[in-house]
Chain A
């Protein structure tokens, strides 16, 4: 083992040789490259998405309208797709590629296969992105102003839907890659417990395979043939339901890499150890089982669905709180363990003993705190009848900017400060800027999200370029609507500045000539190890089977009754805008 020298001007190349032999970059230079390229795409998407975000925040509050209101929806589509499809999922793929390799301690089976799925995901993204951006250029016939939920019969150009399908296939291939890597490990380690990080990757991907069935059927069976003009418009309630079949579990897909980081990396950074490996496994199994049979909670106020189905979805949803509440305990207890090992004492005094100067720690801790708040507004959303109060108001974006927009996004930023040096061998450009940046995100989000929640209670709708109407007055409980608007816009600006600082900091890190030090990639073992849990937890086939059965139970009757109602292709449905002249009529 070598210790890095102190000579000034040492370069990364010479320093690489000084990295400890077990550092990830030395052991898996190829996987490190894959992770770097996935992160690059994620960060580009994040930057463009954040720029759209600040434009929206300024536009809808009337503070500054830099685009035409009709184009607002093109920007909003871009914001949604780039942030919650591209940024989150590319970053997830990078974290999973790293975690699976690190914990199984072996590389993926085939380099070519790995690059193949990276390329597939990228091509799909590029197609969808081009379709959306073309909407800003009137001279092209191409557009996809359908937001990231693409409810038919609003129509996008076929390359938008085809791009989505290609992207999803790319994620499936990624999952297959990680399973092959696991199976190769299994052949040499019969009877061993699955290493924790790999267990998390595999259960999450099983959940994803099940969840994406809904959107795959929606897009491939209905939307692509319809947008190409060879099939009539599908039943809009059916395609909505298929979308939300996927649309709820996708939120857990965003969240699981953050949970993986909280469970495995955060305890180490805090100076402690994971409190309970068994409960971590239970939590991921619960997510596999319960993430999908709940999607109808997004349709509480949809016509055409009986109240009983909505109630069942709500009960499942409420029980889905359990794994997150358990996570709160296990993760906080792991951090507290670190604090106590560092000399912290008391019921609350231990909080002071945590490494608050480390942006990786502080970012993840603030992300967790925001998740506690977002958890609350999510409980309101989930309550079947109280959903009337908030459905489709700006409360809802207020909620998910706390969850995906902070719990996930801020964890990803914080984790980047820890992970990027480990996959590049380069020293973090600036820790103080990193620390400032994560705190700034937190403050910006407090402003933006609080204003959104309160605006939502006043009834202000989401997804609206100019939520100011001659016929309508919005009344807030306390404070005026105009002050809420200013707070929303101000928070949005802080967030954008924070995003720029983050991108600058990782960008300069990637180009930093100073080598990183002490990149130990070992993670401390859990206090309560896997040996303290039953081996049935590792029976992935069993859990996958139960998950499929639960999905069938939850969805077969609602889908059947929706199709019984208006049919697969109800008469009188028309695309609007019709992006391509319906071929059906041309032929007929």
Chain B
């Protein structure tokens, strides 16, 4: 087949570009440790979240010396809970699911960004180094009130952060579902 030499050169440059892109992504995964949302979160019944450990009482849980879990439920048109607080310099794992339709979960100004699909649990682990106020928005159209679906995440100075071990509920949350305590998670160290 006849191909002009310049075009062969361009073909080589294009392949170089492609390989370079793939290598960068592999570096991000292997070197910088970035993980994609995957199937680890498992499945839930969206109508039975009230009886599902974690989602029955959405919010922040301390699970280790410096480790926290946050369960979040998306509903038309809000996140439960609508405010969350975690200390800086901690490892936070979000478990996010939906009670109705497909939603999105994006912590604005960070790379924490996932789809929220009813029946599936999105599990993402994030480290917050600096204290700050973050907005969380739903970035997938979920119905006529989609644009009002947002929440707030406060990353506090560790010394100012108060939460007892094995306590599911969180001070300052304005959610109504924090009355009943769930069986204490045996995971705390």
A and B touch in the complex (CB under 8 A): yes
User: Cβ of A240 and Cβ of B47 under 8 Å apart?
Assistant: no
13 CB contacts below 8 A, A to B, read: A69-B147, A279-B3, A302-B120, A318-B18, A318-B22, A329-B7, A333-B4, A384-B25, A385-B36, A388-B34, A392-B106, A463-B140, A532-B2
In angstroms, Cα B38 to Cα A217, docked, is 25
User: Cβ of A276 and Cβ of B3 under 8 Å apart?
Assistant: yes
For A300, list chain B residues within 8 Å (CB): 36
A571: shortest Cβ distance to chain B, in Å?
5
Query: CB-CB contacts of A444-462 with B at 8 A, as 1s and 0s?
Result: 0000000000000011011
Chain B residue at minimum C-beta to C-beta distance from A475: B109
In angstroms, Cα B10 to Cα A330, docked, is 10
User: Contacts A326-B10, A570-B45, A573-B46 given: A533-B118 contact, CB under 8 Å?
Assistant: no
User: Cβ of A461 and Cβ of B11 under 8 Å apart?
Assistant: no
A588 within 8 A of B: no
User: Cβ of B38 and Cβ of A330 under 8 Å apart?
Assistant: no
Which residues 138-161 of B have a CB within 8 angstroms of A?
138-148, 150-152
A586 within 8 A of B: no
Which residues 297-313 of A have a CB within 8 angstroms of B?
299-307, 310
Which listed segment binds A: B85-93, B97-105, B169-177, B181-189?
B97-105
A492 within 8 A of B: no
Which residues 133-149 of A have a CB within 8 angstroms of B?
145, 147
User: Cβ of B29 and Cβ of A278 under 8 Å apart?
Assistant: no
Number of chain A interface residues as a range: 35 or more
Which residues 107-159 of B have a CB within 8 angstroms of A?
108-109, 111-123, 135-148, 150-152
Q: Which of B7, B41, B122, B142 contacts A279 (CB 8 A)?
A: B7
A95: shortest Cβ distance to chain B, in Å?
26
In angstroms, Cα B104 to Cα A151, docked, is 13
Chain B residue at minimum C-beta to C-beta distance from A561: B39
In angstroms, Cα B10 to Cα A279, docked, is 13
Chain A residue at minimum C-beta to C-beta distance from B13: A325
For A528, list chain B residues within 8 Å (CB): 2, 4
For B123, list chain A residues within 8 Å (CB): 303
Interface centre among B108, B135, B150 (most CB of A within 10 A): B108
In angstroms, Cα B187 to Cα A71, docked, is 47
B60: shortest Cβ distance to chain A, in Å?
17
User: Contacts A303-B38, A471-B150 given: A73-B113 contact, CB under 8 Å?
Assistant: no
For A382, list chain B residues within 8 Å (CB): 21
Q: Which of B21, B135, B139, B144 contacts A473 (CB 8 A)?
A: B135
Binding site for A on B (CB under 8 A): 1-4, 6-7, 10-11, 14-15, 17-18, 21-22, 24-25, 28-29, 34-39, 41-43, 45-48, 76, 100-102, 104, 106, 108-109, 111-123, 135-148, 150-152
User: Cβ of A459 and Cβ of B108 under 8 Å apart?
Assistant: yes
A469 within 8 A of B: yes
Query: CB-CB contacts of A461-482 with B at 8 A, as 1s and 0s?
Result: 1111111011111110000000
B148: shortest Cβ distance to chain A, in Å?
8
User: Cβ of A474 and Cβ of B7 under 8 Å apart?
Assistant: no
User: Cβ of A533 and Cβ of B2 under 8 Å apart?
Assistant: yes
In angstroms, Cα B111 to Cα A384, docked, is 12
In angstroms, Cα B6 to Cα A467, docked, is 48
User: Cβ of A306 and Cβ of B102 under 8 Å apart?
Assistant: no
User: Cβ of B147 and Cβ of A305 under 8 Å apart?
Assistant: no
For A466, list chain B residues within 8 Å (CB): 147-148
User: Cβ of B4 and Cβ of A276 under 8 Å apart?
Assistant: yes
For A72, list chain B residues within 8 Å (CB): 147
User: Cβ of A321 and Cβ of B22 under 8 Å apart?
Assistant: no
Chain A residue at minimum C-beta to C-beta distance from B24: A383
In angstroms, Cα B147 to Cα A462, docked, is 10
User: Contacts A325-B17, A474-B108, A571-B47 given: A465-B11 contact, CB under 8 Å?
Assistant: no
User: Contacts A73-B141, A473-B135 given: A576-B76 contact, CB under 8 Å?
Assistant: yes
For A306, list chain B residues within 8 Å (CB): 38-39
A87: shortest Cβ distance to chain B, in Å?
21
User: Cβ of B111 and Cβ of A459 under 8 Å apart?
Assistant: no
User: Contacts A472-B108, A571-B45 given: A303-B122 contact, CB under 8 Å?
Assistant: yes
Closest 3 CB pairs of A and B: A472-B135, A572-B47, A461-B139
User: Cβ of A303 and Cβ of B46 under 8 Å apart?
Assistant: no
A314 within 8 A of B: yes
User: Cβ of A301 and Cβ of B102 under 8 Å apart?
Assistant: no
Interface centre among B3, B4, B141 (most CB of A within 10 A): B141
Chain A residue at minimum C-beta to C-beta distance from B38: A307
User: Cβ of B39 and Cβ of A305 under 8 Å apart?
Assistant: yes
For B4, list chain A residues within 8 Å (CB): 275-276, 333, 528
Which residues 168-223 of A have a CB within 8 angstroms of B?
none
User: Contacts A70-B145, A322-B15, A326-B10 given: A388-B111 contact, CB under 8 Å?
Assistant: yes
Chain B residue at minimum C-beta to C-beta distance from A389: B111
For B36, list chain A residues within 8 Å (CB): 300-301, 307, 310, 384-385
User: Cβ of A388 and Cβ of B118 under 8 Å apart?
Assistant: no
For A386, list chain B residues within 8 Å (CB): 25, 28
B121: shortest Cβ distance to chain A, in Å?
6
User: Contacts A305-B39, A321-B17, A326-B10 given: A573-B119 contact, CB under 8 Å?
Assistant: yes
In angstroms, Cα B109 to Cα A379, docked, is 21
Which residues 560-579 of A have a CB within 8 angstroms of B?
561, 565-566, 570-574, 576-577
For A278, list chain B residues within 8 Å (CB): 1-3
In angstroms, Cα B116 to Cα A70, docked, is 22
A72: shortest Cβ distance to chain B, in Å?
8
In angstroms, Cα B141 to Cα A147, docked, is 8
A516 within 8 A of B: no
User: Cβ of A325 and Cβ of B14 under 8 Å apart?
Assistant: yes
Chain A residue at minimum C-beta to C-beta distance from B2: A532
For A576, list chain B residues within 8 Å (CB): 76, 100-101, 143
Query: CB-CB contacts of A37-71 with B at 8 A, as 1s and 0s?
Result: 00000000000000000000000000000000110
User: Cβ of B142 and Cβ of A572 under 8 Å apart?
Assistant: no
User: Cβ of B143 and Cβ of A572 under 8 Å apart?
Assistant: no
User: Cβ of A574 and Cβ of B100 under 8 Å apart?
Assistant: yes
Given contacts A321-B17, A393-B139, A458-B109, 7 further A-B contacts (CB under 8 A): A69-B147, A73-B141, A151-B140, A237-B117, A304-B39, A459-B109, A574-B46
In angstroms, Cα B7 to Cα A462, docked, is 39
Q: Which of B114, B148, B152 contacts A303 (CB 8 A)?
A: B114
User: Cβ of A463 and Cβ of B146 under 8 Å apart?
Assistant: yes
User: Cβ of B38 and Cβ of A305 under 8 Å apart?
Assistant: yes
For A154, list chain B residues within 8 Å (CB): 101-102, 141-143
User: Cβ of A303 and Cβ of B113 under 8 Å apart?
Assistant: no
For A574, list chain B residues within 8 Å (CB): 46-47, 100
Q: Which of A147, A321, A389, A571 contacts B14 (CB 8 A)?
A: A321
User: Contacts A469-B135, A471-B151, A576-B143 given: A304-B100 contact, CB under 8 Å?
Assistant: no
Interface centre among B22, B25, B119, B138 (most CB of A within 10 A): B119
For A101, list chain B residues within 8 Å (CB): none
